[in-house]
Amino acid sequence: MAWDFETDPEYQELLDWADEFVGTEVEPLDLVWPHEQFVPLDGMRRKAIDPLKEEVRRHGLWATHLGPELGGQGHGQLKLALLNEILGRSSWAPVVFGCQAPDTGNAEIIAHFGTEAQKQRYLRPLLDGEIFSSYSMTEPHAGADPTQFTTRATRDGDDWIINGWKYFSSNAATASFLIVMAVTNPDVCAYKGMSMFLVPADTPGIQIERNVGLYGEPMNGGSHALIHYNDVRVPAEALLGGEGQAFAIAQTRLGGGRIHHAMRTIGLAQKAIDMMCERALSRVTAGSALSDKQFVQGYIADSYAQLKQFRLFVLHTAWEVDKYQDYKKVRKDIAAVKVVMPAVLHDIAWRAMQVHGALGVTNEMPFFTMIHGAAVMGLADGPTEVHKSTVARQVLRDHTATDDMWPSEWIPKKQAAAREKYAEFIEHEVGNQ
Ligand SMILES: Cc1cc2nc3c(=O)[nH]c(=O)nc-3n(C[C@H](O)[C@H](O)[C@H](O)COP(=O)(O)OP(=O)(O)OC[C@H]3O[C@@H](n4cnc5c(N)ncnc54)[C@H](O)[C@@H]3O)c2cc1C
């Protein structure tokens, strides 16, 4: 029976190396070049970062999100989870290890659905960390409900012409290509009438109207593009997968993406717990250290327990992905992990912030960024509410309605059945009701 929580010693050695490496070499990049992870490398940044990537490659930890059969060098999702929880502490770490969102999900669908030519053109440089990509699905008027998308791709001879608006296409400004979801057949249901296209970023007609910023970023200085696709002409070979396959492809992509975010969130939440504990042990008030106050102990205990549950859930789900090799089979747990993730990060970061007092709410500590990150996690790749509905629907599939007037577990009915079953043993007992 294989039911084991051990990491094999060889991989643990690599994880220990990664832990040290991220702490000493990579986390400082977050302070030197904040928000620049997705800007293609040049000049001094390339000089500083290429050798770090090389170190990662030398340790066999580069781009481990895809297995060798898909062009990567991964060891599966469980091992990736153990690595990602280390990388989650730093914004730069996923880029230095070649496994940053949204490129991981984009690489995955090209690996699964792309032609050989598409893989050569897009997947190879993506896996080499030489280019970035953008996923252009959400529209200004419709996000959670993709059946409302209106961006259209129409046939013109051998070409397709794309017209419409897309919103929150992350990293579009620095990406080399975009994966665009568009309606190709409005006469069938939306689930069969949309297709995906691989579109080079310099194709005429791609107009980035704004680079929307998140809270705290300058107006129009963010990385989530509002794009007008204005008569964007692409050849037939730009179609990814078959015509009408966009929904099936999106599920593959988003399944992986969601669980990868969860893996990294473990690392970020652990960082918040580490900071909370250090502060609790260091700060003395009203005659004792904060760590001696029961409220603060409650924060620490709740945070530890919450993260432990979440971590086991994420690791188990990653193990399921490896076991079944089919996101559909793991849909319920991926959606449930996605639901839990924002609450775990929010709660732990909030407690850590509180324990730091006034310092905690300043821009000299990272807690607000984490709490804002938790809010983002509740929206990116679909809102929490939608995933809750998915979980509930999947859970309900394993249950059936009763046509009896009473629930199956109604005690009087069960008691009568139990008595009947053991009648010969209880009928002589005196006073037994
Ligand atoms: C940081 C960030 C990065 C992103 N990157 C990308 C990207 O690279 N590419 C891309 O295409 N998109 C991206 N998105 C967009 C993201 O996928 C959408 O924000 C998400 O799908 C929700 O769509 P919406 O914002 O239009 O919200 P809406 O669809 O308007 O939903 C708003 C709210 O309504 C409620 N709601 C919606 N549907 C239901 C329902 N069925 N049941 C109950 N309540 C519901 C929820 O509270 C939800 O939050 C990104 C978003 C963020 C925040």
138 CA closest ligand 1 atom index: 11
Sorted by sequence, the CB contacts under 8 Å of residue 422 that are 6+ apart come out as none
Specify the pLDDT at position 429: 60
Tell me the CB-side half-sphere exposure of residue 385, using CA atoms within 13 A.
Answer: 3
Percent of the chain with pLDDT over 90: 89
Distance in Å, CA 297 to ligand 1 centroid: 36
Q: What are phi and psi of 22, to 5 degrees?
A: -65, -45
The mean pLDDT value for 366-383 works out to 96
Please state which CATH number belongs to domain 133-240. 2.40.110.10
Distance CA 46, CA 85 (A): 25
145 CA closest ligand 1 atom index: 29
Quick: pLDDT tens for 111-169: 999 999 999 999 999 999 999 999 999 999 999 999 999 999 999 999 999 999 999 99
Quick: pLDDT tens for 250-288: 887 777 778 999 999 999 999 999 999 999 999 999 999
Specify the pLDDT at position 66: 83
User: 3-state DSSP call for residue 245?
Assistant: coil
Q: Is the CB of 222 under 6 A from ligand 1?
A: no
Q: Whose CA is nearest to atom 33 of ligand 1?
A: 383
* Token digits of residue 161: 């012409």
Confidence band for 203, pLDDT divided at 50, 70 and 90: very high
Q: Is the CB of 376 under 6 A from ligand 1?
A: yes
Distance in Å, CA 401 to ligand 1 centroid: 33
Q: Is the CB of 375 under 6 A from ligand 1?
A: no
Q: Is the CB of 94 under 6 A from ligand 1?
A: no
Distance CA 353, CA 376 (A): 18
Specify the pLDDT at position 65: 86
The mean pLDDT value for 16-30 works out to 98
299 vs 43, which has greater pLDDT?
Answer: 299
Domain boundaries, the chain: 9-114, 133-240, 247-396, 403-433
Query: Where is average pLDDT lowest: 133-137, 138-142, 360-364, 429-433?
Result: 429-433
Sorted by sequence, the CB contacts under 8 Å of residue 241 that are 6+ apart come out as 109, 113, 195, 196, 248, 249
Pairing of strands 284-285, 288-289: antiparallel
Evaluate if residue 227 carries a pLDDT over 80: yes
* Token digits of residue 155: 């046939």
Confidence (pTM): 0.94
Which CATH fold topology does 9-114 show?
A: Butyryl-Coa Dehydrogenase, subunit A; domain 1 (1.10.540)
Distance in Å, CA 376 to ligand 1 centroid: 9
Specify the pLDDT at position 3: 81
Query: Where is average pLDDT lowest: 28-32, 215-219, 357-361, 429-433?
Result: 429-433
Specify the pLDDT at position 71: 72
Beta bridge partners of 294: none
Mean pLDDT across the chain, nearest whole number?
94
214 CA closest ligand 1 atom index: 1
The mean pLDDT value for 16-39 works out to 96
The mean pLDDT value for 306-328 works out to 94
- Domain 247-396: homologous superfamily in CATH: Butyryl-CoA Dehydrogenase, subunit A, domain 3 (1.20.140.10)
Evaluate if residue 226 carries a pLDDT over 70: yes
Evaluate if residue 51 carries a pLDDT over 90: yes
Distance CA 37, CA 219 (A): 19
Quick: pLDDT tens for 59-93: 999 999 888 877 777 888 999 999 999 999 999 99
Alpha-carbon radius of gyration of the chain? 25
Distance in Å, CA 386 to ligand 1 centroid: 9
β strands within 345-418, DSSP E: none
Contact (Cβ atoms closer than 8 angstroms) between residue 174 and residue 163? no
